[in-house]
Amino acid sequence: MIDGFSVPLHTAAGFQSIVSFGAEKVELSTCDRSALYLMAAYAHSLLRAQIGNDASRKIQALPMITTREREIIHWCAAGKTAIEIATILGRSHRTIQNVILNIQRKLDVVNTPQMIAESFRLRIIR
């Protein structure tokens, strides 16, 4: 492998992993990098569920996600920004940011791509 792209990932609880993609020559567009990041976040989510850490080895109930939170996750997965979601839903940008942060806390993730990947894994969205 001469060239590559690595995605370091971690949760708020400290679970860490890194996913690497490699080839002879890697030329990635912003869209390609985003897609690889989402795939890496999903792989991280599956790995965390499979081997876990001390906190995730305990039997945990699925997080309680409200209808509004589910709707916001859906819009995030569709590629909308918090500003765009605020416009669509007729809410303030700050409100949407707070809801996204709350969802991330509930799912024990640290960013939106991880939130989307974990939501797919838990079948919160499909």
Residue pLDDT, tens place only, 21-71: 888 887 888 888 888 888 888 888 887 777 765 454 444 567 899 999 999
Domain boundaries, the chain: 3-56, 60-121
pTM here is 0.64
What is the pLDDT, as a whole number, of residue 15? 74
What is the pLDDT, as a whole number, of residue 61? 63
CA distances from 97 to 47, 72, 108, 112, 124 (A): 28, 10, 16, 11, 19
**Dihedrals phi, psi of 3, to nearest 5 degrees:** -135, 155
CA distances from 51 to 48, 54, 61, 85 (A): 6, 10, 17, 35
60-121: CATH number: 1.10.10.10
What is the pLDDT, as a whole number, of residue 58? 47
With a cut of 60, say whether residue 123 has pLDDT above it: yes
What is the pLDDT, as a whole number, of residue 43? 84
Closest among 117, 107, 78, 121 to 12, alpha carbons compared = 107
Q: Mean pLDDT throughout 117-124?
A: 91
User: What pLDDT, in 10s, does the model give residues 69-79?
Assistant: 999 999 999 99
Closest among 48, 36, 47, 57 to 12, alpha carbons compared = 48
Q: Is 86 exposed, middle or buried (0-12, 13-18, 19+ CB in 10 A)?
A: buried
CA distances from 79 to 25, 49, 97, 113 (A): 28, 25, 15, 10
Q: Could you tell me what percent of the chain has a pLDDT over 70?
A: 90
